[in-house]
Structure 1
Amino acid sequence: MPCMIRFMLTRLATGFTVGCAVGFFVWQNWQNGFAVTGTVEKYLAQALFIYLFASTISMGYLATALLLEE
């Protein structure tokens, strides 16, 4: 695998993992004030919320790594 593709995939995966952890942490601490009725809707909302954090942080992590790479 070329070095650039490996670089991008590892940075995206690392950022996505960090974003999932942050999104899950924020959801668990904020969940008390956010009432969603039903189980399917709650899990869907949680998954979309965590994906929001994960995708944003992964792209930011990749952009920062590309900026700082020499």
Structure 2
Amino acid sequence: MPLMIRFMLTRLATGFAIGCAVGFVVWQNGFLSSSYTAGELENCLAQGLFIYFFASTISMGYLATALLLESE
């Protein structure tokens, strides 16, 4: 695999993992209300979409920062 593709996939995957963890923590600490019911489909879908969009944003930022700081 060419080095640039490996570099990009590694940084995207790392950023996505960081974003998933942070998105989960933000959802659990910031968006729960007293009327939250854990089994509703809408709540599970909303949480999954929030974590996915948060993680995809963080992964693109992580890749852009890594490309900016890479000096070869």
The answer to whether the superposition gives a TM-score over 0.5 is yes
Q: How many residues align?
A: 70
Any stretches of 5+ residues in structure 1 without a counterpart?
A: none
Q: TM-score, normalised by structure 2?
A: 0.88
Any stretches of 5+ residues in structure 2 without a counterpart?
A: none
Q: TM-score, normalised by structure 1?
A: 0.90
Question: 1:7-22 alignment to 2 at 5 Å?
Answer: 7-22=7-22
Query: Following TM superposition, where does structure 1 have runs of at least 4 consecutive aligned residues deviating by more than 6 angstroms?
Result: none
- Shift of the 23–42 alpha-carbon distance from structure 1 to 2, 3 Å rule, reads same
Larger fraction in helix = 1
RMSD of Structure 2 on Structure 1 (CA): 1.7
Separation in structure 2 between the aligned mates of residue 57 and residue 6 of structure 1, nearest angstrom: 18
Correspondence for 1:46: 47
Residues 1:69 and 2:31 are matched in the alignment: no
